[in-house]
Each structure stands twice: as structure tokens, then as C-alpha cells.
Structure 1
Amino acid sequence: MIDNGTNLPNDAPGAPDPENAGRARNGRWRAGTSGQPGGGRTGSRPASLLRLDRLAENEAAEVLRSVLTAAKAGDMSAASEVLRRLWPPRRGRPLTTCPPVPADPAAAFSAILAGIQVGAITTDEGEALSRIVAARLQAVEVADLHARLVALEGSV
């Protein structure tokens, strides 16, 4: 017997229908039970957003023209908005060369900190490089432990 909230066996008279499982006798959903256990349909959007999209669809070209006109006339907030759309903020940059990691991790972290202090790299880039150095150090430690373990097993 599963708990259907009525303390009755599922086949007893008065037990809820299987399609109403999860609902109380008054027809409301019990706490912790969703009306959509699988969630909404993939790709579905709220009706209010769909209405806004339809409104914007008709006016988008005109709005774009007016923002571009204002930007050309010197409106810096309009220009800023246009530029923000054309060139979104950078979220990092690729490393063109992988700098050698010093054998001393403290030296590597000191070099990263020095790069941040002089402005050669940003704090975000320094954080990413620090994580790379830490991961490299961990990989070297794992390789060293593996070599030691193989040597110990060979000597036994």
C-alpha cells in the first residue's frame, strides 16, 4: 500500500484515482507535490514574455534606428548601449604561450602576484593562472606518488 493521503488501500472504495494521485480529497495538491512533476515543456516561455516579444518584434527596427541616431548625435548613454551590444565585455583571454611553471610553487605564485601588481594581468587572470599552477602542482605530486608506489611494489 502506498501513502495516498487517505490511509486506504489503492483499490478500496473512496481511494483517489491514479490520475489524481498527489492531490488531497479537496482537490488541492499536497505540500511537496508538484502539478508538473516532470517540469514544464522544454523551450516553453511564459505568456507575458511571448507578448513582450510580439510587441518588440514590430518596433525593434525603429528603436534601433532611434538609438543609433541618438548615439551619432552624441548621446553617450545610447552610444554606450550600442557598443555594449557590439563588443560585450571580455570574460578572459586566451594564453598565446604557456609560461613555464617554476619548480617552486611559491615562486610561481609570487610571479603571478607581481604581474597583477604592475598591471600586466588582471586579478581574474591571476586567479585563473593560480588555479592552473595549483592543478599542475597537484598533477606533479600525483605523478611522484605513483612513481614511489611503483618502486615500492617492485621492491616487495
Structure 2
Amino acid sequence: MTTPPRGKAFPKGRGGNPSGRPKGARNKALVALDALLDGEGEVIVKKAIELAKDGDTVALRLCLERLIPPRKDRPVAFTLPKLETPADAVKASAALLEAVAGGDLTPSEAAELQKLVDGFTQAIHVHDIDARLRRLEGDQ
């Protein structure tokens, strides 16, 4: 094995711990925080709830964020038609529009799925341009 270049501790692509952090290992700061809060967590939560009930908007927001976490993406139960040609992209767009009109998808869900269809269409255009360019360059 060769010596790594100066200023680099490990060869490119290899770290000092190839196995990574062991499962269940915790950050030292979190372990220290847990030790500080040990036994006090319930008292602190009760105080935050009490402050929220008394109208403290910061405490209220904190409690609500814990009770109702921000919504994240979720799987959408919708099957796009198979995409192989530009005509398939038109069919997929029509299917998305129909699903929104029928109440099966929200407009924002359909918009996100349409981005996938648009990406597919863009990939076809780039592929076609590349093929045409190769034919032209080959003919000259």
C-alpha cells in the first residue's frame, strides 16, 4: 500500500472507519444532555404546557410542533402510465389532470408527479438531439 499524499490522512474513497458508527451509538452531546435532563424531563414538559395554556405563544408553538409535526412527503396512491415515448408523457399528463379533477390527487401531488413526467420528456429531447448530432457529425 502506498503512503497517502501529504495533507490527506486516508486514500481517496477510504475513511478511517470503514464500518461506520456502530448501530445504536449515540452522539456524546446527546448523552450529556440526557444526563442533565434525567428525571427533569416530565417537569419541563409540564411547565411548557402550563406556559402554553397561559398564552405564551412560544411555548404554545413548541407544544404544537411536538403534537402535530410538520407534514412530510407521503407515498401517493397513483399509478402513472408506462413512459416510453413522448406520446406516453401526454397520456400521463392527461391521467394526472383527470385524477385531480376526480379528487383522487391533490393539485400539489399532481404537480410533483408532473415534474417526473417533465423530466422524462426532457430526457427524451436530449437523447433525440444527441442522436441527431451524432448522425450529422458522422455524415461530415
TM-score between both structures, scaled by the size of structure 2: 0.50
Q: Which deviations, in whole Å up to 9, do the C-alpha atoms of 1:48-99 show, x marking residues without a partner?
A: 2211112123211011001100111111221111111111122246667879
Give the match for residue 32 of structure 1. Answer: 10
1:127 to 99, 107, 111: 111
Give the Cα–Cα distance (whole angstroms) in 2 for the partners of residues 126 and 48 of structure 1.
42
Q: Give the total of aligned pairs.
A: 102
Distance 1:78 1:31, change over 3 A: same
Give the Cα–Cα distance (whole angstroms) in 2 for the partners of residues 136 and 31 of structure 1.
42
Contact 2:89 2:117 (8 Å CA) reproduced: no
Give the match for residue 53 of structure 1. Answer: 34
Q: What are the within-5 Å matches in structure 2 for residues 41-80 of structure 1?
A: 41-80=22-61
Give the match for residue 82 of structure 1. Answer: 63
Deviation at 1:47, TM superposition (A): 2.2
- Percent identity (aligned): 29
Q: Secondary structure at the match of 1:53?
A: helix
Distance 1:105 1:64, change over 3 A: same
Give the Cα–Cα distance (whole angstroms) in 2 for the partners of residues 88 and 65 of structure 1.
19
Higher relative contact order (CA 8 A, sep 6+): 2
TM-score between both structures, scaled by the size of structure 1: 0.46
Gaps of 5+ in 1: 6-21, 23-29, 138-156
Determine whether 1:105 maps to 2:83. no
Which of 1 and 2 has greater Rg? 1
Give the Cα–Cα distance (whole angstroms) in 2 for the partners of residues 45 and 87 of structure 1.
26
Give the match for residue 91 of structure 1. Answer: 72
Give the Cα–Cα distance (whole angstroms) in 2 for the partners of residues 73 and 127 of structure 1.
42
Give the Cα–Cα distance (whole angstroms) in 2 for the partners of residues 31 and 97 of structure 1.
49
Give the Cα–Cα distance (whole angstroms) in 2 for the partners of residues 96 and 80 of structure 1.
32
Aligned Cα RMSD in Å?
A: 4.1
